[in-house]
Amino acid sequence: MVKPSPANRKPKQNSASKPASAAANALELLKTEHQAVAELFDEFESADSDEQQALAEQICQQLTLHAQIEEEILYPAAKNVLDGEDVELVNEAAVEHATVKDLIAKIEAMDAEDEPYKATVKVLSEYVKHHVDEEENELFPLLEGTDLDLESMGAELVGRKQELMTQLGSDEDLDEGDALDGEQDEDESAVAAATAQSAAKSASKSKPSSRKSP
């Protein structure tokens, strides 16, 4: 007896939603954030005073979140896998973050009309450029040579950032009413779902044994 052809039968797959594509690599994700802030600094340069304050606020907020997730997740993990002088790179990066935060605090305490406002944003921009340069050209290449699971770290960074943004957002939403709230919740759950999926994917991949010598 011949069974009916399965030609029309599709394999059971989640066709409803796109599969979460490759999990975000932590370092690629952080580089994307570096690029986004660099673009905001460029915009700041050519903006008028009204726009400048909003742009500077955005820059400060993004840098604050970025620094926090690096300090909570990337730097401790980096210290675990690096040794000797390489650990000093991480310590230097953390010290540089402290300076970035000082500059951010100064900018946030000022008004765009204040005389040193632009100069302070400019100094922040140059300082961040220097810091990013060290991360991307010294620290990140070192980490790529270790057995750090950069994909599950990517998921962790995204998840933590969402959490922090939700905290920030819920403060701001108090002023803005409920309309945006629902939209934001949807976005957040989509990102959270993708993040969880990515993390699960990464966890299920069996990794080849460590490339780093003890």
Residue 127 CB contacts under 8 Å (≥ 6 apart), including other chains: 96, 99, 100, 103
- Residue 131 has a CB neighbour count (10 Å cut-off) of 19
14: left (phi over 0), alpha (psi -120 to 50) or beta: beta
Packed helices 49-69 and 26-46: angle between N→C axes, nearest 10 degrees = 160
Choose the stretch contacting Fe ion; rule: CB under 5 A; options: 81-89, 131-139, 140-148, 194-202: 131-139
**Residue 70 binds Fe ion (CB under 5 A):** yes
Choose the stretch contacting Fe ion; rule: CB under 5 A; options: 54-62, 64-72, 76-84, 183-191: 64-72
Which of residues 117 and 161 has its CB atom nearest to Fe ion in the complex? 161
For the bound state, the minimum distance from the C-beta of residue 132 to Fe ion, rounded and expressed in Å, comes to 6
End-to-end Cα distance, the chain? 62
Which of residues 70 and 156 has its CB atom nearest to Fe ion in the complex? 70
Structure tokens at 82: 């690096």
For the bound state, the minimum distance from the C-beta of residue 8 to Fe ion, rounded and expressed in Å, comes to 51
**Residue 90 binds Fe ion (CB under 5 A):** no
For the bound state, the minimum distance from the C-beta of residue 107 to Fe ion, rounded and expressed in Å, comes to 18
Tell me which DSSP letter residue 115 carries.
T
Q: How many residues bind Fe ion (CB under 5 A)?
A: 2
**Pairwise CA distance, residues 120 & 114, whole Å:** 10
The site string for Fe ion over 134-153 (x = CB under 5 A, - otherwise) reads -x------------------
For the bound state, the minimum distance from the C-beta of residue 14 to Fe ion, rounded and expressed in Å, comes to 34
Q: Which residues bind Fe ion (CB under 5 A)?
A: 70, 135
